[in-house]
Structure 1
Amino acid sequence: MFRYIIKRLVYAVILLLAVITLNFLLIHISPGDPVETIAGSMGGMTEELRAQLRTEFGLDKPFLVQLGIYLGNVVQGDLGQSYFFNAPVTSLILERLPATLLLVIVSVLLAFLVGTFMGSLAARRPNGLLSQLVTILSIVGYSAPVFWTGIVLIILFASVFPIFPVSDMRTAGMDDGGWAGILDVAEHLVLPAFTLAFVYIAQYSRLARASMMEALSADYIRTARAKGLSETIVLYKHALRNAVLPVITMLGMQFGNVLAGAILVETVFNWPGLGRLAFDSVLRRDYPTMLGILFFASMLVIIMNQLTDLAYRIIDPRIKA
């Protein structure tokens, strides 16, 4: 297991460097100029000041030189200085990262637990009412864009049923500490987390239903029932342990999609996370901040993929061989 982990870590580092290089290339060949964006926000700028800014930002150097300098800085843990916020990119990301991780982790857990539970129940009676509801939910979940779901929830819970807050992470003036602060954050988290989780609840429930039905038709399930084991043990100890593997695979593969969806959700609900920071950075052509966010997002996706592989080896002993 130790050799396996070391091998996966080496692959992860190589992949991360490749992703950083590709991100750097795509951002620098995309339309837009950070200096011109700054000039526009200031209402104009002299050519001398433009040249000074390009030199200060390193934009006057050849592309390969810029890439080499950036990779060297990243290896040393330096993600650069934000053009717009005039602050270290690392500090900006670390300031916003907890809010994004809270939103993403709660959404992923909600989608995984609810989707797997619904799919498992639906598999017991494939032609029952719950199974039909899971099918309808999956169709609606695939069809509804994340931002549309968020807007509908805002209209519903801001105008029709004003139950949950629809903006920000905390109530203005609320103390961050204590149970009151925790409950306030949880109340603000309900709508963004459900919006982000809704589409994945639909996917996981459908996948869990199909996988559970396949597991229930296997020979070892008939053997377990023949031994006189209770239906609960047969379903949740024997069948579910194998049926949940495709769901875990899907969860690991879609973690990047969840992060991408978080950008839209954070923008709709004004959630102060990396998604909102990424949106502002794209509008302002803030290259270092954009690259820093992509770096952290890529690292989170790679870590999630490694954890998915490890979870496979823990859940299914056959994979250890």
Structure 2
Amino acid sequence: MKQYIIRRILISIVVLFGVSFLIYGILRSMPGDFVEQMTSGNPSITAEQKEKLRESYGLNGGVVKGYIGWAKNALRGNFGKSFLYSKPVTEVISDRMWTSFWLAAIAFVIQLCVAIPLGILAATKQYTKTDYIIVFLALAGISLPSFFFAAVLQRVFSMGLGWVPLSGMVTARKNLTGISLTMDIGYHFILPITVFVITGIGGWLRYVRTNMLEVLSADYIRTARAKGLPERKVINKHGFRNTLIPIVTFIGGAIPSLFAGAIITEGIFSIPGLGKAALDAVANKDLPFLMGYLMFMAILTLLGTLISDILYAVVDPRVRYN
């Protein structure tokens, strides 16, 4: 296992360099840049002045030269200064990362608490009305576009009934602290979390149901039933424990993505998380932040894959990595 982890880390480093060059090349190839965006409303700016601004922002060189300069600084932990926020990229990410994490983590826990029992129930009641209803709800949730569902919730529960805030993370003009501040943030998180749960629960539910059906058709389940074990014990002890193997692996891969933020949902509800920051950075061609954000996501993806493999070996003792 130790050699496997070391080998995977070394391969991940090589992959990161390749991904970072690809991302940098794509971002530099986008039409326009931050200087064009910043000076678009000022016709008095000359071409020479724009070129000096590009030089000051490090946008005047070629892609290869620019990438080498960025990579040298990144290896020292310096991902540059955000054009849009006028702060170091690492500071912007660290400030907004936890907002995205708590928003996604709460929804993630709710999704698992609902999807796992319903997925098991649908599998044990295969081809019954219960199964059809659960699968229908799962497919409905998957089919709902998050931007459309978020707009409907805002229209009904915020603008129509006035039960919850329309957007934002805290109530304006209120200097809340402590528990009052936490409650106010939770109050603003109700609609975004609902969007996360409804649109994301279907995938988890179908995944649990599929794996549970596969386990229930295994020989050892038939043997357990033939021995006269109660159906509840067969499902919970023998079936569910083996269903956990792929589920835990899937969860391990999903955990790092909780820090990445949700661009559409955070943008609609004006939640100041990483997703909203990335959306604003794209609109303003903020190259340093986009590089830092996308590399952050790439590292989380590779880390999640490694965690999944390790968890798979922990849950299933039969798995050994050489």
TM-score by length of 2: 0.90
Please say if residues 169 and 272 of structure 2, whose CA atoms lie closer than 8 Å, have aligned partners that are also in contact.
Answer: yes
Please say if residues 150 and 195 of structure 2, whose CA atoms lie closer than 8 Å, have aligned partners that are also in contact.
Answer: yes
* CA drift at 1:251: 4.8
Name the aligned partner's letter for residue 208 of structure 1: V
Compared CA separation, residues 307 and 113, structure 1 to 2 (3 A): farther
Query: In the aligned structure 1, how far is the partner of 2:26 from the partner of 2:37?
Result: 18
State how many pairs are aligned. 321
- Percent identity among equivalent residues? 32
The equivalent residue for 1:25 is 25
Query: In the aligned structure 1, how far is the partner of 2:318 from the partner of 2:53?
Result: 59
* CA drift at 1:248: 4.3
The equivalent residue for 1:85 is 85
Compared CA separation, residues 12 and 284, structure 1 to 2 (3 A): same
* CA drift at 1:239: 0.9
Compared CA separation, residues 172 and 62, structure 1 to 2 (3 A): same
Q: Give CA-to-partner distance per residue, 1:81-124, whole Å, 9 cap, x none.
A: 12222221111111111111112222333323322221111111
The equivalent residue for 2:201 is 201
Compared CA separation, residues 173 and 128, structure 1 to 2 (3 A): farther
Unaligned runs of 5+ in 1: none
Query: In the aligned structure 2, how far is the partner of 1:58 from the partner of 1:148?
Result: 39
Single out whichever of 258-267 and 50-59 deviates more from structure 2. Answer: 258-267
SS of residue in 2 equivalent to 1:320: coil
Please say if residues 23 and 291 of structure 2, whose CA atoms lie closer than 8 Å, have aligned partners that are also in contact.
Answer: yes
Compared CA separation, residues 14 and 129, structure 1 to 2 (3 A): same
Query: In the aligned structure 2, how far is the partner of 1:64 from the partner of 1:114?
Result: 49
| 2:237 is aligned with 1:237 | yes
Please say if residues 115 and 202 of structure 2, whose CA atoms lie closer than 8 Å, have aligned partners that are also in contact.
Answer: yes
Compared CA separation, residues 286 and 207, structure 1 to 2 (3 A): same
Name the aligned partner's letter for residue 195 of structure 1: V
Query: In the aligned structure 1, how far is the partner of 2:112 from the partner of 2:43?
Result: 49
The equivalent residue for 1:115 is 115
Name the aligned partner's letter for residue 29 of structure 2: I
Query: In the aligned structure 1, how far is the partner of 2:202 from the partner of 2:285?
Result: 36
Q: Give CA-to-partner distance per residue, 1:192-224, whole Å, 9 cap, x none.
A: 122123232111212211221221121212333
The equivalent residue for 2:153 is 153
Query: In the aligned structure 2, how far is the partner of 1:290 from the partner of 1:41?
Result: 23
Compared CA separation, residues 7 and 96, structure 1 to 2 (3 A): same
* CA drift at 1:13: 2.1
| 2:184 is aligned with 1:187 | no
Unaligned runs of 5+ in 2: none
Name the aligned partner's letter for residue 269 of structure 2: F
Single out whichever of 2-11 and 253-262 deviates more from structure 2. Answer: 253-262
SS of residue in 1 equivalent to 2:127: coil
* CA drift at 1:36: 1.1
Query: In the aligned structure 1, how far is the partner of 2:255 from the partner of 2:43?
Result: 41
SS of residue in 2 equivalent to 1:319: coil
After superposition, residues 1-321 of structure 1 pair within 5 angstroms as 1-42=1-42, 44-174=44-174, 177-251=177-251, 262-320=262-320
Query: In the aligned structure 2, how far is the partner of 1:128 from the partner of 1:181?
Result: 46
Name the aligned partner's letter for residue 100 of structure 1: S
Query: In the aligned structure 1, how far is the partner of 2:77 from the partner of 2:286?
Result: 19
RMSD over aligned Cα, in angstroms?
A: 2.4
Please say if residues 115 and 202 of structure 1, whose CA atoms lie closer than 8 Å, have aligned partners that are also in contact.
Answer: yes
Name the aligned partner's letter for residue 265 of structure 1: T
Query: In the aligned structure 2, how far is the partner of 1:271 from the partner of 1:295?
Result: 22
Please say if residues 116 and 244 of structure 1, whose CA atoms lie closer than 8 Å, have aligned partners that are also in contact.
Answer: no
Compared CA separation, residues 42 and 254, structure 1 to 2 (3 A): farther
Query: In the aligned structure 2, how far is the partner of 1:18 from the partner of 1:85?
Result: 27
Compared CA separation, residues 273 and 261, structure 1 to 2 (3 A): closer
Single out whichever of 109-118 and 267-276 deviates more from structure 2. Answer: 109-118
* CA drift at 1:166: 3.1
Compared CA separation, residues 44 and 108, structure 1 to 2 (3 A): farther
Name the aligned partner's letter for residue 244 of structure 2: V
